[in-house]
Amino acid sequence: MPFLKEQILKRTQTFNHTESSSYPGSDDSLILADNVSFAYPASDGSSSDIVALKNVSIKINKGKHVAILGRNGSGKSTLAKLINALEIPDQGKVIVFGHDTSDKSSLWSVRQACGMVFQNPDNQIVGTTVEEDVAFGPENLGVPSDDIRCRVDRSLSRVGLEQYALKAPSQLSGGQKQKLAIAGILAMQPDCVILDEATSMLDPKSAKDFLKLIKELQQEFSMTVVEITHDIENAVTADYIYIMQQGEIFFSGTPREVFTRPDKVLSAGLDLPQHLYINYLFQNSFSHEALESLHEKHPDDIFTPEETVDAMFELQNIASPQTITSPAKKYSYSNQTLISVEKLSYTYQKGTEFAVDALKEVSFQVEQGEMIAIVGHSGSGKSTLISHLNGLFVPQTGQVEVMNLNTRNKKNIREIRKFLGLLFQYPEHQLFENTVYEDIAFGPKQFGFSESEIEKNIKQAIDIVGLSQDILQRSPFELSGGQQRRVAIAGVLATDCEIFVLDEPAAGLDPIGQQEIINYIMHLQKLRKTVILVTHDMKLAARADRILVLNEGSVAAYDTAENIFSNQKILTAAGLEVPPAYKFARLISEKFSCEIDGYTAEDVNYNLLKHLNNRRQSNA
Amino acid sequence: MHDRLMLGKYYPGKSIMHRLDPRTKLILLILLMVTLLIPKTILPILLLFIGSVGLIIISKIPLKEILSSLRSIMFILVFAFLINLFSGKGPIILDLGILKITQDGLLNAILMSVRLILLVIDTTLFLTLTTTPLQLSHALENLLKPLSVIRFPAHEIAMMMSIALRFVPTLFEETDKIMKAQSSRGANYDVGGFFNKIKGYISIIVPLFISCFRRADELANAMEARCYHGGKGRTKLNELRYTTLDLLFSLIFIICCVIILFTHYQMPNLI
């Protein structure tokens, strides 16, 4: 895209950059943060500032793909804002392709050079039409109209949205909105694109498409990519990784350097790629001596799945596993039907030209104590389906019965909602009361619980989600995002439902936050509650007793995880992927010439160890 | 849901009316309104009626779309008609006791209704049916630009308008989501006393407000990241341009208006 680049350069060259170009070690080919510190002013003004970054130094070469990992609140987004000159460091310097971000005159050249895609697709679209939005950046740069038109058309066709040029942004899907954001950045002809958790609100397929597009652009325009993410499987493909913890660079290196130190990665509160995590669990079952002798014989830096499986094979040749801890077992469930959905169909804007069939003859049953995962790509009808379960939608055709109460009967609705707690995506956005206590108490109060019951239930609920007593009298809006999520979950726990319907309860949380959510769900299972989980995360879905696969509004399959993940036909049709642990289990099976199954890392490890022990015993 | 809020919806097309510069349409509409409000006799209003039919024909918009804009003013229309019908002087046509319909009253009522109908039809034709809200905000920004000398924030107002337009569907979707979430928690918006209802709506309004602030904050960041720094030095993808079409159309339009006003002032006794 050479067009007009000169013009922009000319514009920017009229500014004075003497200071930045003389900065030691800097040239136009890299992004440099040198010993940077930054603090946000405290919101109440009285206490001290909130330190976001402490002595952070990074160096990113042009054309490279760099991933920045870390827990929520570790300072990743702040770092991104500093690179984009949205914030100016308190101490230290950020030099972007030769421009000092604290130099006011180079502000626009920095922002033009570094485009940024934010997390929420909706909150970064300015234009009332798709093409107006792409034009927004060049318009701000003062590019002449004809050239803007040229850039807009090229950018839109590059990301594949040309047929939507005159549509309103609200008509796009989440994945398309993020592509629109990319088009808007491309139109500014940047050298670098910063992705601030840009895929965290997308479904896996859209996320994959989006990241593929980014990879292509990186190669096509030798664009620098700075990716802030929780997605470990994608971070593995980066050229370099920075891991942040509490505002500091905890450690950094190439993916191989980083992930060959699993202890360190886990201690930063991050995930490992599944095959490395299985290896980590596997090694932990062996004695210290066995591992020592493995280190002597075998190269230490295992990173790819093949290397990993080789190392695992080597290790079991040296010694036999010491400990076998069985993974959390699944609970049995009774065959008393709690939910029964029969031939449910629903059409949005029925009878108009905009009619969309959201559900087509959906039938299924849920037994007491069961855990069901509902999976399917965006727009497959998942939200419409769960909205029927508690009577938010009345069936157009078909029946929905919850605990033998039909949702068609208006008098039943209140009772159903009392039994069936439904939590939508990002439930923290529903908080509204003055204190956490009142907010959690809102549900129970509506359902007519007594004061003493409410108090008891709240105490239990906050115990489960791990909130402390003293948080109860605070305003929910003072809390962090993760804490707000727990308050919202406590709100549904406090109504003491029989059935919990949770829509993407772990979305947008960091790995530790996600693990906590899984723990709550396991706790509910232990209490013999029925759980229905809507999720894109196959690792999570694999834990369910049965999986309901929705495709284009119809039930594609309703079966156990084993039967669904082994049926490639269903998976391809519904656009789903097998959990990465299962993929690695296939590789293990080949190497160890046996049949190892499992959909979570824990299961795969346990099944492998069990197999090795059995084999040893039969040999002896 | 949000369609109900708008007076009319943009009807895509490539007619002369669609191709006119939105500024031309705004200015001509003001002239047309003046022409509509002054005359009270049959001839000029008949001419205005014929003119408006002409405009509808060249706009190539189905009559159904145009007439649907009258639905929102039906009540006012009937009200104005009745008031005029019963308040005239002169020979009585129909005596209903206290209420008397006179010849003048009937004529006035008809003329008044026709003027109201034409006013609404022409306004929707010019402003909503053939002009996108975005074009309208561009036109306003452009026409109000001279006022920036007295520090009138023309660009800012236009930008606010277009952002508001952009977020209308998003916020409706959000309201729907919050209502569903709170209903699931047992909130009830239909039953209970007045206090309960208010309490119910608070559970929607507070999260909606908070979400608006969060969105505003994030949008401000996103705009700054894309080099937004106010209207200074800003160019436009679709720069407004007057064409010969605007010139010709305006000439004909002004001549017609002058003729109509002429018939009003020079031939007042010609019915």
Query: Can you give chain B as a three-state secondary structure string?
Result: CHHHHCCCCCCCCCCHHHHCCHHHHHHHHHHHHHHHHCCCCHHHHHHHHHHHHHHHHHHCCCHHHHHHCCHHHHHHHHHHHHHHHHCCCCCEEEEECCEEEEHHHHHHHHHHHHHHHHHHHHHHHHHHHCCCHHHHHHHHHHHHHHHHHHCCCHHHHHHHHHHHHHHHHHHHHHHHHHHHHHHHCCCCCCCCCHHHHHHHHHHHHHHHHHHHHHHHHHHHHHHHHCCCCCCCCCCCCCCCCCCHHHHHHHHHHHHHHHHHHHHHHHCCCCC
Indicate yes or no: CB of B235 within 8 angstroms of CB of A387.
no
Mean pLDDT value across residues B170-186: 91
State residue B270's pLDDT score.
53
Q: What is the mean pLDDT of chain A?
A: 88
CB A536 within 8 A of CB A203: yes
Q: Closest-CA residue in chain B for A495? A: B185
pLDDT tens digits, A530-555: 999 999 888 889 889 999 999 999 99
What pairs with residue A345 in β-bridges?
A397
Give the gap in angstroms from C-alpha A522 to the nearest C-alpha of chain B.
22
What pairs with residue A193 in β-bridges?
A115, A225
CB A593 within 8 A of CB A320: no
Residue A345 to residue A352: CA distance in whole angstroms: 17
Q: Closest-CA residue in chain A for B225? A: A111
Give the number of beta-carbon pairs within 8 Å between A and B: 149
**Does B4 contact A at CB distance below 8 Å?**
no
Residue B125 and residue B15 in one domain: yes
Residue A328 to residue A523: CA distance in whole angstroms: 11
Say what percent of chain A tops pLDDT 70: 94
**Does A43 contact B at CB distance below 8 Å?**
no
Residue B250 and residue B127 in one domain: yes
Residue B96 and residue B38 in one domain: yes
All residues of chain A having their beta carbon less than 8 Å from the beta carbon of residue B206 are 432
| Chain B stretch 143-162, residues whose beta carbon is closer than 8 A to a beta carbon of chain A | 162
CB A93 within 8 A of CB A34: yes
From the number of C-beta atoms within 10 Å of its C-beta (0-12, 13-18, 19+), residue B79 rates as: exposed
**Does A174 contact B at CB distance below 8 Å?**
no
> At B93, is the pLDDT very low, low, confident or very high (cuts 50, 70, 90)?
confident
User: HEC states along A17-30?
Assistant: CHHHHCCCCCCCCE
Indicate yes or no: CB of A392 within 8 angstroms of CB of B180.
yes
All residues of chain B having their beta carbon less than 8 Å from the beta carbon of residue A228 are none
Q: List the single best residue of A132, A228, A432, A496 to mutate versus B (max B Cβ within 10 A).
A: A432
All residues of chain B having their beta carbon less than 8 Å from the beta carbon of residue A145 are 235-239
Indicate yes or no: CB of B181 within 8 angstroms of CB of A122.
no
Q: Closest-CA residue in chain B for A196? A: B222
Residue B29 and residue B69 in one domain: yes
State residue A5's pLDDT score.
47
**Does B238 contact A at CB distance below 8 Å?**
yes
Mean pLDDT value across residues B97-111: 84
Indicate yes or no: CB of B218 within 8 angstroms of CB of A188.
no
Indicate yes or no: CB of A115 within 8 angstroms of CB of B188.
no
Q: Is residue B142 part of a domain?
A: no
Residue B34 and residue B86 in one domain: yes
CA separation, residue B91 to residues B85, B103, B105, B110 (Å): 13, 6, 10, 17
Q: Is residue B147 part of a domain?
A: no
Residue B12 and residue B86 in one domain: yes
- CB-based contacts of A378, cutoff 8 Å, min separation 6: A173, A174, A175, A202, A203, A206
**Does A148 contact B at CB distance below 8 Å?**
yes
The residue segments making up the domain with residue B174 are 159-225
Structure token digits, residue A118: 């934010």
Residue B57 and residue B125 in one domain: yes
**Does B188 contact A at CB distance below 8 Å?**
yes
Q: Which among A139, A387, A492 has CB closest to B235?
A: A139
Instruction: Give me the residue label for tokens 């209802």.
Output: B197
Residue A15 neighbours by CB distance under 10 Å: 15
Instruction: Give me the residue label for tokens 């009830």.
Output: B188
Q: Is residue B114 part of a domain?
A: yes
Residue B89 and residue B18 in one domain: yes
Mean pLDDT value across residues B53-57: 92
CB B244 within 8 A of CB B19: no
State residue A344's pLDDT score.
95
Indicate yes or no: CB of A429 within 8 angstroms of CB of B178.
yes
Q: Is residue B204 part of a domain?
A: yes
CA separation, residue A271 to residues A226, A258, A342, A528 (Å): 19, 12, 40, 29
Residue A408 to residue A54: CA distance in whole angstroms: 58
**Does A151 contact B at CB distance below 8 Å?**
no
AA letter at A316: Q
Q: Closest-CA residue in chain B for A107? A: B227
**Does B222 contact A at CB distance below 8 Å?**
yes
- Return the SS3 of A220: helix
Q: Is residue B136 part of a domain?
A: no
Q: What ipTM was assigned to the predicted interfaces of this complex?
A: 0.87
Residue B166 and residue B66 in one domain: no
Phi, psi of A267 (to 5 degrees): -70, -20
Q: Closest-CA residue in chain B for A128? A: B166
| Chain B stretch 7-46, residues whose beta carbon is closer than 8 A to a beta carbon of chain A | none
**Does B133 contact A at CB distance below 8 Å?**
yes
Residue B93 and residue B24 in one domain: yes
Phi, psi of A590 (to 5 degrees): -65, -50
State residue A398's pLDDT score.
94
Q: Is residue B20 part of a domain?
A: yes
Q: Is residue B30 part of a domain?
A: yes
| Chain B stretch 191-210, residues whose beta carbon is closer than 8 A to a beta carbon of chain A | 202-203, 206-207, 210
Strands A546-551 and A530-534 come out as: unpaired
Residue B85 and residue B184 in one domain: no
Residue A610 to residue A44: CA distance in whole angstroms: 57
| Chain A stretch 70-129, residues whose beta carbon is closer than 8 A to a beta carbon of chain B | 81, 84, 86, 108, 111-112, 115-116, 118, 120, 122-129
CB A422 within 8 A of CB A412: no
State residue B269's pLDDT score.
60
Q: Residues of chain A whose pLDDT is less than 70?
A: 1-27, 43-47, 328-331
Which of A372 and B84 is assigned the larger pLDDT?
Answer: A372
Structure token digits, residue B75: 């009540």
Q: How many domains does chain B have?
A: 2
Say what percent of chain B tops pLDDT 70: 94
- CB-based contacts of A114, cutoff 8 Å, min separation 6: A31, A83, A84, A85, A96, A190, A191, A192, A193, A194
From the list A342, A339, A340, A371, the residue with the least C-alpha distance to A359 is A342
pLDDT tens digits, A499-536: 999 999 988 888 888 889 999 998 998 888 999 999 98
Residue B125 and residue B8 in one domain: yes
pLDDT tens digits, B112-149: 899 999 999 999 888 888 988 888 888 988 898 888 88
Structure token digits, residue A411: 């008098």
Indicate yes or no: CB of B233 within 8 angstroms of CB of A115.
no
Indicate yes or no: CB of A84 within 8 angstroms of CB of B225.
yes
Alpha-helix runs per DSSP H in A93-192: 107-113, 130-141, 145-159, 174-186
Indicate yes or no: CB of A125 within 8 angstroms of CB of B166.
yes
pLDDT tens digits, A13-37: 433 333 344 455 556 778 999 999 9
Q: Is residue B175 part of a domain?
A: yes
CB B79 within 8 A of CB B112: no
Q: Does the pLDDT at position B7 exceed 70?
A: no
